[in-house]
Structure 1
Amino acid sequence: MTDTTAFDWRSFLLRWSGEWADSLPDGETRGEDDEAARRARWLGFPPASEERIAAMEERLGRRMPPSYREFLEVSDGWRHAGGFVWLLAGTGDAHWHDNASELADMFEEYLDEDSGPEERREAELWRRGLQLDVESDATYVLLDPEDVDEDGEWAVYTWAGWRAEPPERHANFREFMRDMHRQFHSLRAHRSDGEPEFVNDTTRQLDALVEEARLEALRGGWERAGKALDEAKEYGRPRAAGLGDQIRRLLGQSYTVYFDGLVTDPQYAPELLPPLVAEHAAHSYRDDSTLTFHLRGADDDLVALAYATLDQVRNGTYRYTAAGPFGQAVERARELARWGDTDRAWRTLMNALPRWEPLGPDHLAPLGWVADPVLGPLLTPERGRELLSTPRGGQVSAARGGQASGPPGPTAGLDPDDLAWLAEPDEGGNRTSYRFVLVEGVEPEDVPGRLADGDGAVLNDPMTLWEARRTSRHDQWEFSSYDDRALMAVGRAGTGWSFAFDGDPAPFDRQRFVSPAAAASAGTRAVVVWSGLRTWRGEPFFHLSVAQDGVEQYAFTYADGEIRKSGEIPRALDPPRFFGGPEDGAEAERRLLEAVTGEFGACLPRHAIVHGRLHTFATRSWTRPPRDGETYMVIRVHR
Structure 2
Amino acid sequence: MTDTTASGFDWRSFLRRWSGEWADSLPAGETRSETDEAARQARWLGFPPASEERIAAMEERLGRPMPPSYREFLQVSDGWRHAGGFVGLLAGTGGARWHENASGLAEMFEQYLDEDAGPEERREADVWRRGLQLDVESDITYVVMDPEDVDGDGEWAVYTWASWRAAPPERHASFLEFMKEMYREFHCLRARPCDGRPVFVNDTTRKLDTLVEEARLEALRGGWERAVEALDEAGEYGRPRAKGLGDQIRRLLGRTYMLDFDDLVTDPRYAPELLPLLAAEHAGHAYRGDSALTSRLGGAGEDIRALAHALLERIRNGTYRYTAAGPFGEAVERARELARWGDTDGAWRTLREALPRWEPLGPDHLAPLGWVADPVLGPLLTPERGRELLSTPRGGQAGEPPEPTAGLDPGGLAWLAEPDPVSSRTSYRFVLVEGVEPAELPGLLADGDGAALNPPMSSWEAHRSLLDGRREFSSYEDRALLAVGRAGSGWSFAFDGHPAPFDRQRFVSPSEVAAAGTRAVVVWSDLRTRHGNPFFHLSVARDGAERYAFTYADGEVRQSGQIPPTLDPSRFFGTVAAVGPEDGAEAERPLLEALAGEFGVHLPRHAIVHGRLHTFPSRSWTRPPRDGEWYWSAWIEEPRGGRAAGGGEASGEETRR
TM-score strictly above 0.5: yes
Asked if the contact 1:431/1:532 (under 8 Å) is kept, the reply is no
Asked if the contact 2:427/2:529 (under 8 Å) is kept, the reply is no
Residue 165 of structure 2 is aligned to residue 163 of structure 1 = yes
- The number of residue pairs the alignment matches comes to 629
Residue 616 of structure 2 is aligned to residue 617 of structure 1 = yes
- For residues 245 and 485 of structure 1, do their structure 2 counterparts lie closer, same or farther at Cα, with a shift above 3 Å needed? same
How far apart are 1:308 and its partner, in Å?
Answer: 1.1
Aligned positions of 1:129-140 closer than 5 A: 129-140=131-142
Among 510, 515, 527, the alignment partner of 2:521 is 527
Aligned positions of 1:453-532 closer than 5 A: 453-455=447-449, 457-532=451-526
Aligned to 2:642: none
How far apart are 1:496 and its partner, in Å?
Answer: 2.4
Asked if the contact 2:109/2:125 (under 8 Å) is kept, the reply is yes
- For residues 53 and 535 of structure 1, do their structure 2 counterparts lie closer, same or farther at Cα, with a shift above 3 Å needed? closer
Among 175, 178, 194, the alignment partner of 2:180 is 178
How far apart are 1:148 and its partner, in Å?
Answer: 1.3
How far apart are 1:386 and its partner, in Å?
Answer: 0.6
Aligned to 2:630: 631
Residues 290-314 of structure 1: per-residue CA shift (max 9 Å, x gap): 1111122222222111111111111
Residues 158-196 of structure 1: per-residue CA shift (max 9 Å, x gap): 111221211101111111111000000001112422321
In 2: Cα distance, 1:220 partner to 1:598 partner: 41
Among 97, 112, 115, the alignment partner of 1:113 is 115
Asked if the contact 1:267/1:360 (under 8 Å) is kept, the reply is yes
Residues 361-408 of structure 1: per-residue CA shift (max 9 Å, x gap): 0100011111111011111111111111101000011xxxxxxxx121
How far apart are 1:30 and its partner, in Å?
Answer: 4.5
Letter in 2 for 1:410: P
Residues 78-135 of structure 1: per-residue CA shift (max 9 Å, x gap): 0000000111111111111121222112222222211111111111111111111111
- For residues 284 and 297 of structure 1, do their structure 2 counterparts lie closer, same or farther at Cα, with a shift above 3 Å needed? farther
- For residues 572 and 217 of structure 1, do their structure 2 counterparts lie closer, same or farther at Cα, with a shift above 3 Å needed? same
Task: Find the residue that maps to 1:597 and give its secondary structure.
Answer: helix
- For residues 467 and 228 of structure 1, do their structure 2 counterparts lie closer, same or farther at Cα, with a shift above 3 Å needed? same
Aligned positions of 1:373-384 closer than 5 A: 373-384=375-386
How far apart are 1:62 and its partner, in Å?
Answer: 1.5
How far apart are 1:524 and its partner, in Å?
Answer: 2.2
In 2: Cα distance, 1:141 partner to 1:152 partner: 19
Aligned to 1:593: 592
- For residues 419 and 221 of structure 1, do their structure 2 counterparts lie closer, same or farther at Cα, with a shift above 3 Å needed? same
Letter in 2 for 1:601: G
TM-score, with structure 1 as normaliser = 0.95
How far apart are 1:235 and its partner, in Å?
Answer: 0.8
In 2: Cα distance, 1:443 partner to 1:522 partner: 14
- Could you list the runs of 4 or more consecutive aligned residues of structure 1 that deviate by over 6 angstroms after TM superposition? 533-536
- For residues 15 and 63 of structure 1, do their structure 2 counterparts lie closer, same or farther at Cα, with a shift above 3 Å needed? same
- For residues 421 and 4 of structure 1, do their structure 2 counterparts lie closer, same or farther at Cα, with a shift above 3 Å needed? farther
Aligned to 1:572: 566
How far apart are 1:27 and its partner, in Å?
Answer: 4.8
Asked if the contact 1:456/1:619 (under 8 Å) is kept, the reply is no
Sequence identity (%): 78
Aligned positions of 1:72-151 closer than 5 A: 72-151=74-153
Among 338, 341, 348, the alignment partner of 1:339 is 341
Residue 197 of structure 2 is aligned to residue 203 of structure 1 = no
- For residues 431 and 331 of structure 1, do their structure 2 counterparts lie closer, same or farther at Cα, with a shift above 3 Å needed? closer
Q: Which runs of 5+ in 2 are unaligned?
A: 639-657
In 1: Cα distance, 2:550 partner to 2:257 partner: 50
Letter in 2 for 1:180: M
TM-score, with structure 2 as normaliser = 0.93
Letter in 2 for 1:359: L
How far apart are 1:523 and its partner, in Å?
Answer: 2.5
Asked if the contact 1:425/1:432 (under 8 Å) is kept, the reply is yes
Residues 397-442 of structure 1: per-residue CA shift (max 9 Å, x gap): 1xxxxxxxx1211111111112111122233894521100011222
Letter in 1 for 2:478: D
- For residues 294 and 602 of structure 1, do their structure 2 counterparts lie closer, same or farther at Cα, with a shift above 3 Å needed? same
Aligned to 2:440: 446
Residues 13-62 of structure 1: per-residue CA shift (max 9 Å, x gap): 00000000010113546421111111100000111111211221122222
How far apart are 1:455 and its partner, in Å?
Answer: 4.3
Deviates more, 1:628-637 or 1:344-353: 628-637
The root-mean-square deviation of aligned C-alpha atoms, in Å, is 1.8
Task: Find the residue that maps to 1:362 and give its secondary structure.
Answer: coil
Aligned to 1:605: 604
Task: Find the residue that maps to 2:266 and give its secondary structure.
Answer: coil
Aligned to 2:651: none
In 1: Cα distance, 2:532 partner to 2:404 partner: 41
Residues 133-164 of structure 1: per-residue CA shift (max 9 Å, x gap): 11111111111111111111111111112212
Task: Find the residue that maps to 1:483 and give its secondary structure.
Answer: coil
How far apart are 1:5 and its partner, in Å?
Answer: 6.1
In 2: Cα distance, 1:430 partner to 1:259 partner: 37
Aligned to 1:401: none
In 2: Cα distance, 1:537 partner to 1:341 partner: 34
How far apart are 1:572 and its partner, in Å?
Answer: 2.1
Letter in 2 for 1:584: D
Among 217, 227, 230, the alignment partner of 2:229 is 227
Aligned to 2:643: none
- For residues 29 and 244 of structure 1, do their structure 2 counterparts lie closer, same or farther at Cα, with a shift above 3 Å needed? farther
Deviates more, 1:456-465 or 1:68-77: 456-465
Asked if the contact 1:98/1:127 (under 8 Å) is kept, the reply is yes
Aligned to 2:648: none
Aligned to 1:537: 531
Task: Find the residue that maps to 2:103 and give its secondary structure.
Answer: coil
In 2: Cα distance, 1:255 partner to 1:538 partner: 43
In 2: Cα distance, 1:431 partner to 1:480 partner: 24
In 1: Cα distance, 2:58 partner to 2:425 partner: 69
Residues 534-592 of structure 1: per-residue CA shift (max 9 Å, x gap): 98734211111111222211111111222111112222222222224585332222221
Letter in 2 for 1:443: E
Asked if the contact 2:58/2:94 (under 8 Å) is kept, the reply is yes
Residues 225-251 of structure 1: per-residue CA shift (max 9 Å, x gap): 111111111111111111111111111
Among 538, 543, 546, the alignment partner of 2:540 is 546
Task: Find the residue that maps to 1:590 and give its secondary structure.
Answer: helix
Among 561, 566, 582, the alignment partner of 2:555 is 561
Asked if the contact 1:122/1:167 (under 8 Å) is kept, the reply is yes
In 2: Cα distance, 1:5 partner to 1:490 partner: 66
Task: Find the residue that maps to 1:63 and give its secondary structure.
Answer: coil
In 1: Cα distance, 2:76 partner to 2:289 partner: 53
In 1: Cα distance, 2:273 partner to 2:113 partner: 46
